[in-house]
Amino acid sequence: MTKNIAVVTGANRGIGFEICRQLARIEVKVILTTRDEEKGNKAKEILQNEGLDVVFYQMDVTSEESVQQAADYIMGNFGKLDILVNNAGIGGDHDNLGLQANIDRIKEILDTNTFGPLRVCKAFTPIMIKSNHGRIVNISSNMGALSNMGSGATGYRISKAALNAVTRIIASELEDTNIVVNSMAPGWVRTDMGGPTATRSVEEGADTAVWLAVTDNLPTGRFFQDRREIGW
């Protein structure tokens, strides 16, 4: 039986790395991607040393050329794509208040957190359409929920709210296919971004993304946390 093929972006550490591990443990072949080649290869080696079927391909989600090269690699080497997890993201603007916003910083965050997944979907979805099958999981945040907006982290909040909009748009455009597109919020996770005092482990943070990636008969265009649908 041919393994499912998964691509995970921004996967050299944190939640993305753990998503790779959990997918590979259930017999998915994982292409771990990140823009830093050295870090990506080190992450791949760790997982391969655990006996997991993981390969690395360098991809910068802020570069259309890099994203298209990665899509060509997937099509040329595997001929299909079953799972796409858009995990690559940046933050670091907790002090960026809305009325004093650093617009250049917001643009930088949007380029990775929102336009990055959109670029990747544009390039990779045609591979899924060829086989009329696929799961796209966009790693969003509770801070992107309109019902949970507050002061600070203006760029991050905007980028994740916009990513949720991208999820809805793409899900709508693919509603006549067997490609399911959803967002998920991992919660406050102990990663380099979340910090050591965060309330959740990376295993907990990755769980719902993996569940969305491999579970049949799920709705499309929705927002999830802890395997339950939540509000936008």
**Residues labelled catalytic:** 156
Nearest to 118 by CA among 91, 136, 105: 136
Distance CA 164, CA 151 (A): 19
Q: What's phi and psi for 63, nearest 5 deg? A: -120, 115
Q: What's phi and psi for 101, nearest 5 deg? A: -65, 140
100, exposed or middle or buried, with CB in 10 Å at 0-12, 13-18, 19+? exposed
User: Which residues, listed in sequence order, are joined to residue 56 by a DSSP beta bridge?
Assistant: 32
Residue 126 makes CB contacts below 8 A (sequence gap 6+) with: 71
Please report which residue ranges of the chain form alpha helices under DSSP H.
14-25, 37-49, 64-78, 103-113, 115-131, 154-173, 202-214
Nearest to 227 by CA among 198, 206, 196, 200: 206
Assigned token pair, 54: 């993981």
